[in-house]
A and B are shown apart, each in its own frame.
Chain A
Amino acid sequence: MFYEDIPIGQSTGLGQTEFSRKAILAYGKQFDSRIVAQDAAGNARLAASGMHVAAAGMRRLVDTRNALRATMAERGETLPQLGVSPGFKYMRWLHPVHEGDIVSYSVETVSKRETSKPRWGLVTNMFRGVNQRGEEVLAFSSAVLIARRPKDS
């Protein structure tokens, strides 16, 4: 999908991730020793690191985008070049994600504008993660450069 094709205000589902005890602990062992401390304290239901919840959402985004690109390739369409993300703002962890929780991720384009670079447009997205009880567990805003549709396609 090129910059021109992205609709504003439409939420796209990115699929779900189930947070197993094993995955929560694996991330904790590598990056967030507070999770390991929860385990050592005999906590029956571990809560995931907030950064783990966000990174798992990135995986959902990449998989969803790859599926879309595969469909485009099958139709013989030109594939947009992938841009590297410059970061994010206003990340909120409104509820903890516990082991066994299933988080549904989505992304919504809230604004877009052309840039001084003729081949790229700037798109601002709102990412959300909602658990199986409908509680928002993750939200953040991210601006990313998206390739514009080439003139000849």
Chain B
Amino acid sequence: MPEALYFEDFPLGEVAEYGRVDVSVDEILAFAREFDPQPFHTNEEAARAATGGLIASGWHTSALLLRMNCDAFLTRAAILEEAGVEEVRWQLPVRPGDRLHVRRQTLARRPREGRTNASEVEFLYEVVNQDGAVAMIQRSVLLLKQRPQPLTN
């Protein structure tokens, strides 16, 4: 079992880059057929006219960010609460053949009222493509446990 990650492990301003996903036609189609069956996500011909070719559903790009975050740190983070997502912007289309990774920045750290052993961390995640362009941003907050202090006498 890898060691847990606590509030102290995410210093203010830290930038971390991780993850790699190669986006395939089949995955775009499979996701869109289940969750977002609009022509520019499910039909290559219709997509050519509408969006210059097939593009991934924004919900798919969000899911790929989640996968890369899980692999990089979320499964190990001592999360007490994950209440939601402050903001998501799908700012560039994600297309078949794109190679994505994540750039995560620690935007803010703050105490939570009524909590002495946990604090909030606000992250900005950028999903970056092979050209270095940011296809999507997500801003969200985790309530993380503070590292337990060793017992002293």
Interface residues of A (CB under 8 A from B): 27, 30-34, 37, 49-51, 54-56, 58-59, 62-63, 66, 82, 84-94, 140
Which one of A32, A56, A84, A89 contacts B66 once the chains associate, using CB atoms below 8 Å?
A: A32
| Given A33-B70, A62-B37; A87-B88 close (CB under 8 Å) | yes
Residue with the greatest number of chain A CB neighbours at <10 A, chosen from B40, B66, B86, B91 = B66
Cβ contact within 8 Å between B63 and A55: yes
Given contacts A30-B63, A86-B90, contact A58 B85 (CB under 8 A): no
Instruction: Name which residue of chain B comes closest to A138, CB basis.
Output: B84
Q: How many of chain B's residues touch chain A, expressed as a range? A: 20 to 34
Q: Please tell me which one of the listed residues B37, B75, B83 contacts residue A93 in the complex, with CB atoms under 8 A apart.
A: B83
Q: In the complex, A51→B87 CA distance in Å?
A: 13
13 pairs, A vs B, C-beta closer than 8 Å: A27-B63, A30-B63, A31-B66, A32-B63, A32-B70, A54-B59, A54-B62, A59-B35, A62-B38, A84-B40, A84-B93, A87-B91, A88-B87
Q: With an 8 A cutoff between CB atoms, is B51 at the interface?
A: yes
Determine which of B51, B67, B86, B136 lies in contact with A84 in the assembled complex, contact meaning CB atoms within 8 Å: B51
Q: Is the CB of B63 within 8 A of A88?
A: no
- B34 near A: Cβ within 8 Å? yes
Per the bound structure, the CA–CA distance linking A6 and B64 in Å amounts to: 33
CB within 8 A of B84: which of A59, A85, A92?
Answer: A92
- Say whether A51 contacts B59, CB under 8 Å: yes
Asked if B8 is at the interface of the complex by the 8 Å CB criterion, the answer is no
